[in-house]
Amino acid sequence: MVYENLIYEKQGHVALITLNRPKALNALNDVLLTELADAVEMVAADEDVRVAVITGAGKAFAAGADIDYMKDFNPIQAQSYMEQGQGLYRRIEKVRKPFIAAINGFALGGGCELTLACDIRIASTKAKIGLPEVGLGIFPGFGGTQRMPRLIGDGLAKELIFTTRQVNGQEAKEMGLVNQVVEPEELINTAMAMANVIASKAPIAVGLAKDTINRGRQVDIDDAMSIEAANDCLAFSTEDQKEGMHAFVEKRSPVFKNK
Ligand code: HXC
Provide DSSP, 30-72.
Answer: HHHHHHHHHHHHHHHH-TT--EEEEEESTTEEE--B-HHHHTT
Q: Are residues 163 and 243 in the same domain?
A: no
Pick from 5, 25, 73 the residue to mutate for probing ligand 1's pocket: most ligand atoms within 8 Å of its CB: 25
Q: Are residues 188 and 208 in the same domain?
A: no
The answer to whether 112 and 144 are in contact (CB under 8 A) is yes
Pick from 5, 20, 28, 67 the residue to mutate for probing ligand 1's pocket: most ligand atoms within 8 Å of its CB: 67
Whether 250 shows a pLDDT value over 90: the answer reads yes
Residue 102 within any structural domain of the chain? yes
Q: Which of 4, 93, 133, 171 is catalytic?
A: 133
Q: What interface predicted TM-score (ipTM) does this complex get? A: 0.98
Tens digits of per-residue pLDDT, 25-62?
Answer: 999 999 999 999 999 999 999 999 999 999 999 999 99
Strand pairing report for 128-130 and 167-168: antiparallel
Q: Are residues 148 and 220 in the same domain?
A: no
Residue range(s) defining the domain that contains residue 163: 6-199
- Which ligand 1 atom is nearest residue 67's CA? 9
Residue 188 belongs to domain with CATH number: 3.90.226.10
Q: Are residues 183 and 214 in the same domain?
A: no
112 to 90, 127, 157: CA distances (angstroms): 14, 11, 12
Is 113 a residue of the active site?
yes
Q: What is the pTM of this model?
A: 0.98
Give the DSSP letter of residue 221: H
The answer to whether 113 and 138 are in contact (CB under 8 A) is no
Q: Cβ neighbours of residue 112 under 8 Å, at least 6 residues apart?
A: 64, 129, 130, 131, 140, 144, 148
Predicted pLDDT of residue 1: 77
Q: Are residues 76 and 151 in the same domain?
A: yes
Strand pairing report for 120-124 and 99-103: parallel
Gap from CA of 84 to ligand 1 centroid (Å): 19
Total domains in the fold of the chain = 2
Q: Are residues 131 and 175 in the same domain?
A: yes
Q: Are residues 147 and 193 in the same domain?
A: yes
Q: How far apart are CA 138 and CA 134, in angstroms?
A: 5
Residue 235 belongs to domain with CATH number: 1.10.12.10
Predicted pLDDT of residue 77: 97
Which residue has its alpha carbon closest to ligand 1 atom 11? 24
Tens digits of per-residue pLDDT, 181-237?
Answer: 999 999 999 999 999 999 999 999 999 999 999 999 999 999 999 999 999 999 999
Which residue has its alpha carbon closest to ligand 1 atom 29? 63
Q: Are residues 96 and 193 in the same domain?
A: yes
Q: Are residues 101 and 214 in the same domain?
A: no
